[in-house]
Amino acid sequence: MTVSLGQRTEETVAIYFAKAQKPAIKEMLPQKAQSLEEALSDYRETLLPSSTSYGRTVWADHRYVGDVWCYCIDLNEGPNAMLSYCIFEDVLWNQGIATRAVALFLEEIRQRFTLRTVGAFTYSDNHASIKVLEKNGFSAVEEFSEDGRKSGYYQLSFH
């Protein structure tokens, strides 16, 4: 399966927002935007020169299947950015798409923003997400409970 990254647009933001409302996704991925209007507004902010977030669409065999993004970009603080990702087509889960998309995205943002470190949070019971992070060189740094749910913080240092 060919995995590639593409440009985010208002159309893909709307598709992503609708697809990410699935209970299985909402259970594993907290979502900031509570409405399509909020999601579109957040997207428009990423287009500003002062933006501290950047995202790409994930494509598998020329089909839009998810998003990958970073936020809190700050070259003066560690980590230099936080990573998040979601494959919203659940029939494609556990096929390596997220792992490959994250690898492509990390290389892109490392060069684009001259990052030295990237962090990521995931729930401790989200074993698929933990595998994606570990396969991309992230190491567990801390485990904690938030709102009664165990979570982990992972970090990647570029050499």
pLDDT, one tens digit per residue, over 66-121 is 999 999 999 998 899 999 999 999 999 999 999 999 999 999 999 999 999 999 99
Whether the CB-CB separation of 17 and 36 falls below 8 Å is answered with yes
Q: Where residue 41 sits, what CATH number does that domain have?
A: 3.40.630.30
Is 8 within the bounds of a domain? yes
Is 104 within the bounds of a domain? yes
Please give the tally of structural domains in the chain. 1
Is 145 within the bounds of a domain? no
Whether the full predicted model's pTM is greater than 0.85, yes or no, is yes
Query: How far apart are alpha carbons 55 and 112 in whole angstroms?
Result: 12
pLDDT in tens, 120-156: 999 999 999 999 999 999 999 999 998 899 999 999 9
Is 124 within the bounds of a domain? no
Is 128 within the bounds of a domain? no
28: nearest Cα among 143, 125, 134: 125
- pLDDT for residue 30: 85
Is 46 within the bounds of a domain? yes
Is 125 within the bounds of a domain? no
- pLDDT for residue 104: 98
As a 3-state breakdown, the chain gives helix, strand, coil percent values, each rounded to 5, of 35, 30, 35
Question: In terms of residue numbers, what domain contains 38?
Answer: 3-115
